[in-house]
Amino acid sequence: MRAYVLMDYQSGNILANMKGDERMEPASITKLMTGYVIYKAVKSGKIRLDDKVTISEKAWKTVGSKMFVKLGTQVSAEELLMGMVVQSGNDATVALAEHVAGSEETFTKLMNQEAERLGLKNSHFTNAAGLPNPNHYMSGRDIAALTRVIMQEFPEHYARYSVRSFKYNNIDQPNRNRLLFTDPTVDGVKTGHTESAGYCLVSAAKRNDTRLIGVVLGAAKEKERFSASQALLNYGFSFFESRKLHDANVPIVTGRIWKGQESELPLGLTFPLYVTVPKGQAPQVSTTTAVQPKILAPARKDQPFGEIVVKLGDQEVSKTPLVALKDVSESGWFGRLIDTILMFFYYLFN
């Protein structure tokens, strides 16, 4: 294989890595980003799952794996999503891209905008289905990070990735992810293959309280991508353990907020905070918090005002933003005046 990455879902820590930041052809793993853009469109109300999508000639003619939709027919967005996720249908993928953005070209711009927003530094897309192009690439780390975001933000859509087969047009196609049939702890995610990309697989599994995401890129044979992915997951579950440090939406520290209708701002986390460490080393984990020295109203819920640092012994493991757990509005002019005076003396002596 050309590259692999093993990520802990809860913490985002990388547990194993070979060439995980190199840009490589992702083939149909591209459809994870395609799916992410579609899921956001559903959430925002831009499209509905019961929308009827007319199959264009371009979608119908798209080469590669197919859902076998017919030219000019109307297919629900839900069925097309199943065809894209389970059957890896390129025809279904292009039809959905056109439905969301008017054209695949415009949809691809949305994919690249989301990649930039999510901080996927080694990802760029030229099409929605993952067809080969020199400027179409992802890294193993980016693939793992995107998979984690889909799990966090869209668990209802992520459930499709564990579906073992889907029937459309009287054609029943099995999910190409063979691990779904051989390992009961695996619940996703996506295969990919072209002659130039080799055989690729992003897999995810949960055993007890630990959930892992594995990425294998560029395997020489189909069997190798499954055996390598299984070995990667087994390694992670055998040698690492996850530990929850803090729940989401629970105050961890309180910051002084000035010129607001309240004087204290509770700070916490958007998602639960976990750390993944080699088995037996959990007692060496410690955390420290740092809060922005001057917080001024107004404050918005989920706005960052500090960070929590996790260490294993003396080694820094992760940094996570501390965010406001509620809105605090600006006070009236008299309250702001009083706080301006108090702030002067506070920072003069502190």
Catalytic residue among 11, 56, 65, 88: 88
Q: How many CB atoms lie within 10 A of CB 161?
A: 24
Q: For the chain, report the end-to-end CA distance as a whole number of angstroms.
A: 57
- Contact between 127 and 28 (Cβ < 8 Å): no
Helix or strand (DSSP H, E) at 253 = strand 253-258
| Neighbouring residues of 334: CB distance < 8 A, sequence distance ≥ 6 | none
Compute the C-alpha angle 97/106/157, nearest 5°.
35
Q: What is the CB-side half-sphere exposure of residue 274 using CA atoms within 13 A? A: 19
Q: What is the largest CA-CA distance in the chain?
A: 77
- Phi then psi for residue 215, to 5 deg, are -125, 125
The values of phi and psi at residue 271, to 5°, are -125, 155
To the query of whether residue 165 is one of the catalytic residues in this protein, the response is no
Question: What is d(CA 135, CA 25) in angstroms, rounded to the nearest whole number?
Answer: 9
238 flagged as catalytic: no
3-class secondary-structure state, position 245:
strand
Tokens of 338: 């009083």
User: Exactly one of 31, 66, 190, 259 is catalytic; which is it?
Assistant: 31
**Contacts (Cβ under 8 Å, ≥6 apart) of 208:** none
Question: From the DSSP assignment, how many helices (H) and strands (E) are in the chain?
Answer: 10, 17
| CA gap 138, 136 in Å, rounded | 7
Q: Pick the catalytic residue from 28, 65, 139, 318.
A: 28
Please, where are the H alpha helices in the chain? 31-44, 57-61, 77-85, 90-101, 104-117, 140-153, 155-158, 179-182, 222-239, 333-349
Please say if 206 is a catalytic residue. Answer: no
Residues carrying an active site annotation = 28, 31, 88
